[in-house]
Structure 1
């Protein structure tokens, strides 16, 4: 379809990926050194009382990037004003409006989310590739976002050696208390080896141990970059 070519001219939204294949991760394992019994897994560390919204405490302040997931991941440099400007331009473009009319005839359902970046994650930067990307989505229990952020601010260092950490986002509009972690790998085999190597590092198992009780459900998607994406 020609939409990505046109919208890249009309607005600041930049399409980074499209979904390709769905994988479901149904199991997680813990190291024996951290597994002290099922009863302990019901509890997490006490955290300080929150004094601000998690959107202010956890997101990057210097970039003001806003992201939208719509079977694609879009970036709007400049946050909500950039998104508003983009929508205004598209709503006055006859070719795009005609495309939307025809597209609506093929859709059964659709969902959008607006996302902010975690302050401790990398911002998605251009990559030469070729790479595959994994989007791991976590639906958290309400009220646990700060604890999740506290844990992952420490844990991210265990996943930086192979430059696999691309970006981390949390929802602001749409389904709430949803987290997306985006990773890059050379191949599915590389993904397996990289993920297994994390378990050999002291401290990674503890991060998994204390974040699992915060999760209501999780999903994994393998994504292929579009030809126009700066991340290949």
Structure 2
């Protein structure tokens, strides 16, 4: 991947490129050992993200016969959190969606915590002692088949999240990466994102910190499925996009996409 270096001029100023290519004399070692990475006293998450915000992604599989009751429950939970003054300053719902194409009877809710894990700890402490919240949580448990929570950080090179007005669909493309490849992923996508800015389709890009590890989520916003098709075809006509894709594909163990529709209480539509 030595050819990566010729793209350095396209990287954002705040993104640190980390070499994962073995030195020439050590090339034969790469066949048996993990690739050499430049020594650093910073964690990889600090290199990939420069934002003091932690995001939580809740993925719920609701019962097919309980969709409306479930959505009412989530809406009431959102309103309760908004009404709690210590929480409302730091905890915010970014987006709420149900899956239209992909895993059926599924909902995703994206929250932001300004102040990081410290705010998550304080929010959990406040909510655990709130009787109304506890009742809503118990009620929700009867309406869902499973719940999964991930804590995420936003990639530093991804555009800042901008809430959209109606009417849009969203696509979340989720990738399970091979362990040890997150830096390479960041190196490549810091360039690749430049090919996906023309139609303002980039909504958010995250990597997991707690929950399923080595997970990446890219969320895209489109007017409709036809606009999605046209936008993606336009990217393939952009010189360099195919090369970025070629570098990232070997890093992936599994990937899937879902088309999402905003709920009526989602801040972004």
Per-residue deviation, 1:215: 0.2
State which of 54, 58, 61 in structure 2 corresponds to 1:66. 54
Name stretches of at least 5 consecutive residues in structure 1 with no aligned partner: 1-44
Deviation, structure 1 residue 182: 0.8
Of residues 21, 36, 40 in structure 2, which corresponds to 1:46?
A: 21
**Counterpart selection for 2:235 from 198, 215, 221:** 198
Residue correspondence of structure 1 range 175-190 to structure 2 within 5 A: 175-190=212-227
Cα displacement string for residues 80-128 of structure 1 (whole angstroms, at most 9, x for unaligned residues): 1221222122112111111222222344322111000100001211222
Give 1:205 shift. Answer: 0.1
SS in 2 for 1:109: strand
SS in 2 for 1:67: strand
Q: Normalising by structure 2, what TM-score?
A: 0.66
Where relative contact order (Cα < 8 A, 6+ residues apart) is larger, the structure is: 1
Q: Does 1:109 align with 2:99?
A: no
Match of 1:28 in 2: none
User: Is the aligned partner of 1:77 residue 2:77?
Assistant: no
1:98-177 matches, cutoff 5 A: 98-177=135-214
Separation (CA, whole Å) in 1 of partners of 2:115 and 2:247: 34
Q: Normalising to structure 1: TM-score of the pair?
A: 0.76
Where in structure 2 are there 5+ consecutive unaligned residues? 1-19, 23-35, 60-108
Do residues 216 (structure 1) and 216 (structure 2) align? no
Quote how far apart the aligned CAs of 1:162 are: 0.4
Judge conservation of contact 1:125–1:230 (CA < 8 Å) in 2.
no
Compare CA radii of gyration and give the structure with the larger one. 2
